Structure 1
Amino acid sequence: MVKVYRDFQYAKKFINKSTVAIGNFDGVHLGHLSLLKKAKKLASNSNTSFTILTFAPHPLKVLRPEFEPKSILRFRTKIEMLERAGVEIVLAQRFTKSFSKITAEKFVYDVLKNGLKAKNVVVGDDFKFGYKREGDVSYLVSKEFSEIFKVHIINEISGKYGRYSSSSIRGMISSGDMLKVKESLGYFYIVEGRVVSGEKLGRELGFPTANIHYNNNVIPEDGIYAGWVLHEKKQYMAAISTGIRPQFKGKKRFLEAYLINFNGNLYGKNIKVSLVKKIRDEKVFSDIEKMKLEMKHDCDKALNILNKYKI
């Protein structure tokens, strides 16, 4: 089981020597997986612990909160995915204003050398670190540190839609193109959370829904989607609405999933919703009966889509 630490001063008590891959790893997308594969092989060949160094919260939340990006994955799910990639140790360094003032040199000596006892360091070609991002890859590979660890640089990794990056994937999610998102993530975008009690409007219409809030997730474009709901290791086909429900003059944005052919009560339970493909935009109907008929058509379309796209 992966070990998770929150501070390098504490982690150093339990680490002997390590191969360290550094990054935020939000989404654990295909570009990340390529880097992780390289790091895992290095760790195995050098008999070192396969270690991730990331930062929580996101540095921008501390330094420039107005620019903090929404998360593709919840922290716990990110850890689960890193563990599936073979990671043994995660240092999710608690990022504070004090930590942000560590110089690039101190970062190398205090965090990498003495904290994680790094023998290999794996980074992307655009990696920056230290106070005001003063350190970069060229500094990391300088002779000054060559006796401490070897640096392995992963150059740009691109896919069908260009360079893999968490920021570009956030843009894809926001535009509602979930099939394109899957091409970059390697899996369908997941929204997860605890089912909360809503206004029960869906139940009154004959389509009871499981409602969850977005919290700090990237919010997809408003509309109706086909998707899968995972609950207690079982998968259910679903028609999913995300938006403000303009038919009822709603104001708060959240996600509602109607599990097709499901009988049960999910209130208070944790679910994961995988968004597969957008069916249509939200819209206002002239009367409720027309809305109910359209919702029935949405379910039929969702079934057709989900019979083609599994998770």
Structure 2
Amino acid sequence: MTKKSKNSTLKEVLDIILYENPSTQDEIAEKLGITRRYVTKLLQPMVKKGIVRRAYILDLKKYDDFSEMFEEEKTSREHAGSYLIKDLLKNMSEHVCKQLKTSFEALLTHKKDQANDALKMDFITNNMLEKVRSSVDTAIAINPYSEFSKTVVFGEIAYDLERIGDHSGIIANFTMQESYEVDTEMMDYLKEMYKTSKKMVSWSMDAFLNEKLDLKEEVMSCEDKLHQLQKKALNCIATQMAETPFEDKDRSTYYLSLSRVVKAFERIGDISIEIIDTAGEFYHNIPRTTTPERFRRREQKIEKARREE
């Protein structure tokens, strides 16, 4: 095997580590159609030099110096770093949306094995967060005084996505722990809350990754719908709880857990608002408000009531 082809294969291995979050060398080998032994041979010097850290995170500062051997056309280090981290965030966003979808489908069908799969996906979400944080630290170390220091915002977005993954976990845990299935009326509310919150995540991330700030109006409209649905869903739960005998503690616990599922969708919507507000600051220096979203809504309602008087 020539040096060039060997380097090409190594580059493919490192790209998989960067973008696809493999857990084992067997997984890398399978994706590339090569042997695990050859993957080990390629990665061994990378591990010794600290370029690759187990379980499979790249030290991007060392990788940046090392990558000249791939003889690719190089852009500025700042531009390349920004592009790379945005790509990591794009993959993380897609994964978190799949995690949310898997969690809700498990709730919809009351399948505990699918709920367990959704919970396992959270490990990958956490690993993706660490990769973004590692990349951000590297980017800031390269040039902490330039405009590229805004890269720290990428870490905030990754943390927001990780929080969405946590709220998806609440939905999956409900299916794992509760023996009662959700009735039709309540499920209709949850279906709409899921569709609305998922749109908000997708649109807010599109706004951040691709500077589509005009999507904010759509996201805010979805937020209004989500809170209307939340109010109806909680009223439904309150009505059903009132009809439950006091001594039926299992059923009462079920309703409390169900209310946490409703709250999880609401929090996913709030985080989406935070992401799109961050996009406005990142691209156009529009300051983000320090007032939590729930208090902003309360102030808006008070102001609306005053105007109506």
Question: What TM-score does the superposition give when structure 1 sets the normalisation length?
Answer: 0.26
More strand by share: 1
Question: What TM-score does the superposition give when structure 2 sets the normalisation length?
Answer: 0.26
